[in-house]
Amino acid sequence: MPVFLKSDGPFSMYDHSLRHIDLKNSANQLTVVDQASLAALHRYEQELVRLKELREKEKYQFIYNHELKKA
């Protein structure tokens, strides 16, 4: 079977099983595609953390402004 028929489509890039790979023992065994996928997964997770921090700051700013209006 040709490789392109085994593809999972556009979602194959986001293989979250890579998160559970032991990088110390298998760093040399990762393919270039797996390395790129792992880097993309790390960027995605870092972006989620930054977005969460931004939303938390906005929430606290809103609460602070709301408390100022009450006083």
pLDDT tens sequence across 3-58: 555 555 555 555 566 666 766 665 567 788 878 888 888 898 899 999 999 999 99
Q: Is residue 38 part of a domain?
A: yes
* pTM of the model as a whole: 0.59
pLDDT band for position 68 (cuts 50, 70, 90): confident
For residue 11, what pLDDT is reported?
Answer: 52
Q: Is residue 50 part of a domain?
A: yes
Q: Which two tokens stand for residue 29?
A: 């065994």
Q: Is residue 11 part of a domain?
A: no
Q: Which residues contact 34 (CB under 8 A, 6 or more apart)?
A: 15, 18
Q: Is residue 21 part of a domain?
A: no
Distance CA 69, CA 63 (A): 10
Q: Is residue 37 part of a domain?
A: yes
Q: Whole domain around residue 43: which residue ranges?
A: 29-71
Q: Is residue 7 part of a domain?
A: no
Q: Is residue 8 part of a domain?
A: no
Domains: count for the chain: 1
